[in-house]
Structure 1
């Protein structure tokens, strides 16, 4: 019976991860829909809406949650909001605008391997030598992506594509830190549900977005007409609702259902959905290098999962 329940939890967790990936994949499309707005404007717009929605949704349970918010938890919420939301989204939008959806989603697709490498230093974790095939595939995929982004003909200058690639790598680093830290804290929360944790991060991110709001006149993208603002409002509301509220809720639920060694692997669904979204939007097929990179990403993640099937101590974990 216990084995059946465990299998059911894993299956439910995988479906939650798939749903989160399908919704998060839309995030890569948003910068292409409103290209006239700067990364900072898009990030602030999205997270102000996310924060407002979180206020409304967490309000009924605020009296129960408030006593549980110790200084350590408040600090955790602050840095998770900054790393996993504002910093990550500014870098992601910059990468999409300068390097394209395919390049950005493929780079972020290496999150499972990045998370596992960080966790490999923990006691009881899978030894790094067992991850050699995954790391080699990861390097090969990164070379394909880098070559496509920097050397192959594109819509922008080489320098612009290089900066876009660097922003995508920065987004990967930022989200790796968030994925590990968020998994760590979700497993320590006894009185706070994964849904409420999502709303609390929304509150923290909304407050941070307000702090960055005065920078928009200096770092914004200029003037826009009514049609531009209407489209912008529709996009940030949709992204906040479907990606930040629903997508994050599914991800947090998945994090509590799956073993830690599987959590990072689920980000592959985001890449799997983001790529076809991008190709449909751009009305084109993937280039040979993009197709090769995607296959290498999948093989890298699958070999990483296979390495975790080796007998390892029960306390093995990727959480930081």
Structure 2
């Protein structure tokens, strides 16, 4: 349990960088940043795949199909929807919607997978979920008070819809990924992270061609293929591809293989906390009091949830005559 929480914390610290990347290169469209990140992820996976080629050969055709599904939904679709939602609604509103993930994942896991790992008592889980939800409300209320978002109704509503799709994607991804790892304890989490990187590369390359062609038509002044600041963009994508995609996925896989599926959801909070921390470091300012209160509530909710022991699964006893 302790090792699983540490791995989840490490994944959250690295995934928090996702929210910093767009702030460092604001002139780059979200779709191009998404493609750049996952092309880098796929390229970094190639030497790792050569090193792990013996273990990768043990994966079945069904395993590779599962890896493709996970990367399409949890990587490409999620990050594309998130980036576009932020551009359409502004970061605070999208963050508020994405910030519901710990609660949504916990409830979904308890409903869908509780019969596998043992359910968490709703009576015991509810206070933790309330604390997490209260923390998220405080954090995002503080952000919303910092300024209004100029909006066009259709653009705003479509941004909210995209943020909700992103929530659905990242509710499905960690639960599905966790179940695969729990059902395949003989497979190394590092091998599974590398396999996802391999299947990501061709998908990201195809998406890159589409995005580049679209930019050439809609923004002819944009310097292609690497934009106006390639000396910043390329290293940033490599760092995010390594830390957020491969190493972050590896740490999350290690956590998922050690922890019950119903406990995975609250640990997504580490990503939100890391993202907040990096954002305020970038702003070079201390978070306001309401944000600090929200962070305390988030941490209290996670600690409370981790202290809940799943109720044992009761299997029917078959009687023999």
- Offset at 1:92? 2.8
Normalising by the residue count of structure 2, what TM-score does the alignment of the two structures yield? 0.80
In the other structure, the counterpart of 1:282 is 283
Pairs within 5 Å for 1:115-130: 115-121=105-111, 122-123=114-115, 124-128=118-122, 130=124
Match of 1:206 in 2: 201
Asked if 1 retains the 8 angstrom alpha-carbon contact of 2:263 and 2:305, the reply is no
Partner of 1:89: 79
Whole-angstrom distance in 1 between the partners of 2:44 and 2:165: 28
Q: Is the 8 A contact 1:28 1:101 kept in 2?
A: no
Q: Is the 8 A contact 2:110 2:119 kept in 1?
A: yes
Distance in 2 of aligned mates of 1:137 and 1:181: 26
Partner of 1:44: 35
Q: Distance in 1 between matches of 2:229 and 2:188?
A: 38
**Distance verdict in 2 for CA 1:302–1:149, change over 3 Å:** same
From 130, 142, 154, give the equivalent of 2:147.
Answer: 154
Cα deviation digits, residues 122-170 of structure 1 (max 9, x gap): 43523545544345455555655675676x4626414466665554443
133-142 or 246-255, which deviates more: 133-142
Partner in structure 2 of residue 6 of structure 1: none
Distance 2:99 2:313 in 1: 27
Tell me the number of residue pairs that the alignment of Structure 1 and Structure 2 aligns.
Answer: 303
Residues 1:15 and 2:10 aligned together: no
- CA distance in 1 between partners of 2:283 and 2:78 (Å): 24
> Is the alpha carbon distance of 1:132 and 1:18 closer, same or farther for their aligned partners in structure 2, counting shifts above 3 Å?
closer
> Could you tell me whether the CA contact under 8 Å between 1:21 and 1:267 is conserved in 2?
yes
Q: Which moved more, 1:187-196 or 1:131-140?
A: 131-140
Shift in Å at residue 175 of structure 1? Answer: 1.2
Task: State the partner residue of 1:183.
Answer: 178
How far off its partner does 1:171 sit? 2.6
Aligned CA RMSD, in angstroms, stands at 3.1
For structure 2, the residue ranges without an aligned partner over 5 or more in a row are 316-321
Where does structure 1 lack aligned partners over 5 or more consecutive residues? Answer: 1-9
CA distance in 1, matches of 2:165, 2:288: 24
State the TM-score, normalizing by the size of structure 1. 0.80
- Give 1:79's match in structure 2, choosing from 32, 44, 69: 69
Matches within 5 A, 1:189-268: 189-216=184-211, 217-218=213-214, 222=219, 223-224=222-223, 227-268=228-269
Q: Residue 101 of structure 2 contacts residue 171 of structure 2 at CA under 8 Å; is this kept in 1?
A: yes
- Which residue of 2 is the match for residue 26 of structure 1? 17
